[in-house]
């Protein structure tokens, strides 16, 4: 697989934010059937629910339920249409790689477990490009030998 799409990339693709123009440029070059890890799909959909819950508690945080519902519907429509494919992953292999990344990088890089799992999946899939707008995750991906072609705010 040529690229790994991470959750922050999906947010930029499905809602208007600072990274959206760069995400749109890359999406124009992604052929139908682009792979998504099941972990990214879970994290993206969970984050939508989290944003709706945050907004329910405080209208200054998160996203309104109508917005998250629309984003989820657009994402699911793209999955159903075959624009994205949920690709299989070898969980024992991913966890083995993740453990190595964690022991090597987490203390200095302060990496979250999900971020490590995404980078580990990209490595297991032998991808070359890691698509993220998350600065800390991009640092981990680069340290693991992946290219991170998107612009990042430091």
Question: Is 148 inside any structural domain?
Answer: no
Q: What are phi and psi of 103, to 5 degrees?
A: -70, -25
Residue in this structure with the two tokens 């991470």, named with its chain if needed: 6
Question: Is 135 inside any structural domain?
Answer: yes
Question: Is 154 inside any structural domain?
Answer: no
What total of structural domains would you count in the chain?
Answer: 1
Q: What pLDDT, in 10s, does the model give residues 22-56?
A: 999 988 888 889 999 999 999 999 999 999 998 88
What number of other Cβ atoms are within 10 A of residue 132's Cβ?
Answer: 28
Give the model's confidence band at 153: pLDDT under 50 very low, under 70 low, under 90 confident, else very high.
low
What number of other Cβ atoms are within 10 A of residue 17's Cβ?
Answer: 13
Question: Is 77 inside any structural domain?
Answer: yes
Q: What pLDDT, in 10s, does the model give residues 84-125?
A: 999 999 999 999 999 999 999 999 999 999 999 999 999 999
What number of other Cβ atoms are within 10 A of residue 82's Cβ?
Answer: 10
Phi-psi domain of 45 (left: phi exceeds 0; alpha: psi -120 through 50; beta: other): alpha
Could you tell me the two tokens for 103?
């022991």
- Residue among 35, 24, 65, 23 nearest 48 (CA): 65
- Distance CA(36)–CA(11), nearest Å, equals 14
Range of the domain at 39: 3-143
CATH of the domain at 51: 3.40.50.1010
């Amino acid at each position: 697989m040529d690229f790994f799409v991470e959750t922050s990339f999906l947010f930029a693709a499905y809602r208007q934010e600072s990274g959206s123009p760069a995400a749109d440029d890359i999406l124009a070059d992604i052929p139908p059937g682009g792979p998504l890890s099941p972990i990214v799909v879970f994290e993206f959909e969970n984050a939508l629910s989290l944003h709706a819950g945050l907004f329910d508690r405080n209208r200054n945080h998160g996203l309104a339920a109508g917005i998250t519902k629309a984003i989820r519907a657009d994402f699911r429509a793209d999955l159903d249409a075959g624009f994205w494919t949920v690709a299989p992953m070898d969980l024992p292999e991913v966890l083995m790689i993740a453990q190595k990344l964690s022991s090597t990088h987490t203390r200095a890089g302060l990496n979250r477990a999900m971020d490590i799992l995404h980078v580990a999946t990209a490595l297991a899939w032998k991808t070359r490009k890691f698509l993220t707008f998350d600065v800390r995750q991009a640092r981990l991906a680069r340290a693991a030998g992946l290219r991170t072609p998107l612009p990042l705010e430091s």
